[in-house]
Structure 1
Amino acid sequence: MSKAQGTVLEIDLKALKHNVAFLKSRLQPNTKFLAVVKAFAYGSDSVEIAKYLEELHVDYFAVAYVSEGVVLREAGITTPILVLHPLPESFETIIEHCLEPSLYSTRVLQAFIAVAEDKKQSNYPIHLKFNTGLNRLGFAEADIPNVLSIIQDKRAINVTSLFSHLAASEDLKESAFTLQQIEQFISIASTMVNGLGYTPLLHQCNTSGILNYPNAHFDMVRSGIGLYGYGNDPKFNSYLKPIATLKTIISQIHTLKSGDSLGYNRALKATETLRTATLPIGHADGIARAYGNRKGYVIINNQKAPILGNVCMDMIMVDVTTIKCNEGDEVIVFGAQHTAEQFSETISSISYEILTAISQRVKRVFYR
């Protein structure tokens, strides 16, 4: 890794390879691996991450919305791409770019079949999502007879997978609920397979499901946050490597005397002499205002520097009173040691939020 030149997000592809290998080591050899690259690959850069994951021979990608899948196809990605939350107005685009929709209600199922038939498709791959307790998207188990009646004799489509989503697989205090979800999915899959007359892929496990519920890996698993180095549990975090390091530099150092104020709304009023450093990163780059006023901190020369006053759009100020540092010195916002999980915990948030919040104006630099 190089010394930061301004604000950059460094992506360690070797760490990504390590994470894929670790997660696959938890699987049976014939279990397929789906890599979730939605939300700009959790803030990293979906195209670069997907290109590298293709080199590692993942079986599937997943994105949230059709536009994300289009970006990957236009970049030359050929691996199958599951779109987790497609909307009917984008169904023609799905077919044009060979994307595979998750269909989760009677309305979207019928709408997609109509578009597929209009486009003279044959056995177009679709994925049927069932709700087993997350209560976000998905058919209910009671919908199965209606689903089967709708797709019966529809040659335009083919059910490639049946899947569901675990709600609390990272929380072992909720294991009874998770096991109930798994059992319900098994029941749904059995009924659907009998009705279809063939067996689609089955998948339900997310990263924490992979790690905590090996008996529920079925035909394929889906990993998002685990790819990027987080296992939602300290015992698993130790086996994973965060791939992203957010770095910046010290632009200027100031000395405040007692009575001086700092930043917008004079949120900090010094009661003693303070030495502060201004950094070229702010809420437009993903550092929310909630991190201000000594909630969050960065690392300068291996020491914690609390964020002072209100976070500005393009800058934050930090306390370096007790830290030996100079203008131009490197600053770590989060990385392998001071992780995104630790950074986000200071405002009772989660690693997912800070990772996906990093603005695309922050330069991404990739290392193999």
Structure 2
Amino acid sequence: MSVVSGHLSLARATAFEAVIGLEIHAQLLTATKIFCGCPTSFGAAPNTQVCPVCLGFPGALPVLNRAAVDFAVRAALALGCDVQERSVFARKNYFYPDLPKGYQISQYELPLALGGGLDLHVNGLTKHVRLTRIHMEEDAGKSLHEGFADSDRRTYLDYNRAGVPLVEIVSEPEMRSSAEAAAFFEKLRQILLWLGVNDGNMDEGSLRCDANVSIRPVGDTTLGTKAEVKNVNSFRYLQKALDYEIERQIDVVEHGGRVVQETRLFDSAQGRTFSMRSKEAAHDYRYFPEPDLPPLIVDAARRAAIAATVLELPERRMARFVRDYGLPTSDADLLTQTRGLADLFESVA
């Protein structure tokens, strides 16, 4: 199928609209993992940064990393979220080879933060996209399908990444185009990088995006059946994956079929998505409270102390550069892409 990036045909654009929500997984820049003392540095030899806790050995107990909590709260406050005084970790039960425990420690019913949102600027228009929640969890390991003499017959597993702290940032399904979704992802990356809680390195997998997308007739308010496109790691690929997926779903409907709820992968070489598996519902994961961790308490004093570390954010600093230094908006935007560049400018201005 041939898809033109960012644009539906006029007939299709007036007949259908896309409904897009994003789930962003951001590794937190802590020196050690979320529940143990193993290092989190990228690029070490496989399975050299592991211990009984992150490998899920019987009797090994998790201990929550305080710095990971502080980073997660900092991100939540910067995004305008309501940080909950009490949140609870839960076991998300599923089988996958790169999940050594057979479950992932995450949060479900009582997440770290609720609400918040981002203002997007796309095609000369400003749009506010709300956040649903931010929760903390541990990353999984990594399946290695290439790089070995027998890779045509075997997959190897590297558990160095298992237990690296993550925040999952979930948007409401309020984006209507691939351009809006890419703008959301890009702005969120900028803020996380600015705060110093994530390194923004999508090539290394420290920032990943899952996109939930469905279609519906223009004017309809009900949600259609969604497909989830997993682990997209660039803004350009996110747009291409969504453009293809929107067209694919419209083709299915126009030919009398029904869109199936499923998880799909994007093949960048072919520019298309492929079915990976049927999409699980929450009850399939059999969530229950993590028995080895107490509830996480973030009281008002701690929230206030972390809020004091949330620096002037890029958009506000850009506006100040325009106001105080008389810069064109385009120049101010360029200078505030990273905090280091903005600081350098002010040091010599």
Shorter-chain TM-score above 0.5? no
TM interval, short-chain normalised: under 0.3
Relative to the length of structure 1, the TM-score reads 0.22
Q: Indicate the structure (1 or 2) with the bigger Cα radius of gyration.
A: 1
Higher helix share: 1
Output the TM-score relative to the length of structure 2. 0.23
